[in-house]
Structure 1
């Protein structure tokens, strides 16, 4: 099934509003913004499908006008079902000057024999803020499906004013590469990453705060690294999807608060 979604936002009296939306089954969206006096539009992507099925082709596009601020939410964990040919998702995000975008989707759960490729391209103009996360699990752990999926390939590209500044390339093929080997997961079962970019952020105290917060979490290993442009890249390994997802939300929500306060 080919599923398409297109969201466009604009600014009215300093507040972001949903200017245009288009979606095809099984996708739909809902505006879940509670405080409409703050420049922080909140949109949730929902689906009537239980997950991504064999042969699915998801095509998502998000466009934010200058000065807009939006959080994009997901409905639930993304289940990748048993497949023969595979499925894919293509996502494009375009931010004009001074726009802010936050996307922290629920963890992906690849079932046995799942084969999934996702490619995200994010285009930033000057003065933009980005919080972008991803959590990948080992599969249905309680069903004994640890790393029984065929392939998971996630490519994330971030462009600043047309120049490629970050490229993440996560490829896991458990049947070909031992996930427990040195340089791989080394016994961990879940992994998460977060990209934070903001040319106005003071990243040194922010990095120290994130390091201190993650140091208090049990059963994880992590790293906090300076991005090629002003920002941070965080990676976390652990054993529980909810724990890693909560860590990303805690870090991301702090940034959202800072951005909202700055905008107001």
Structure 2
């Protein structure tokens, strides 16, 4: 097999007409891979994504060919997938105000050209979920930037843009309904879409603690930080140091590694109803 790409978390290999997507235990924040791994993280991301792909198969097809036809050394963390022609737009849905969306709102009262009511605060629920696309920048070449829906249309055409928005918002809506039944709020999520056989197909990962903000619903209180069940916990930990957010990142203390892993496990178990072993 040929290594095609080594990303912040996943390695991509070519195997004939297929690709193998292998999730590592690496963790990145602010586009920097930290030197300390989170045990089982790659397997949790893979198994949770597979579960979500199955739950949302009627919304949009996905790239999975097999989760078992993979080399034994990658069992549980690798997926055999279709090759996709990726759309060069990061597709993000937001239902709550947090992160970069909060900062953008505080500057302009809008996100990606979508005007929002005045007076919202950190953690506020939005009147309805919104599509907030960004550019897709290669690792090491800067940061993704917000773009308007009109800019998406100009980039990929009106028909494709409409489908990107529809799929993203429906994935968020359905995912949020399922998560809410298990005591989890999905504040926002990012999905990857590409073409296979002329159809838009979900790729990469889906509704994981790496690609989404998960909050404990019973502790949700607008006006400040929430109880995060995702890697925002690591971002908050790093903010307590003098790290300038450039490589190399800081080593993660054992207790923070354990607390981070526990959050990933908790999300997996609460969403799927399966125990992580």
Output the TM-score relative to the length of structure 2: 0.23
Relative to its length, the structure with more helix (as a share) is: 2
Structure of higher RCO (CA pairs closer than 8 Å, 6+ residues apart): 2
Output the TM-score relative to the length of structure 1: 0.23
Relative to its length, the structure with more strand (as a share) is: 1
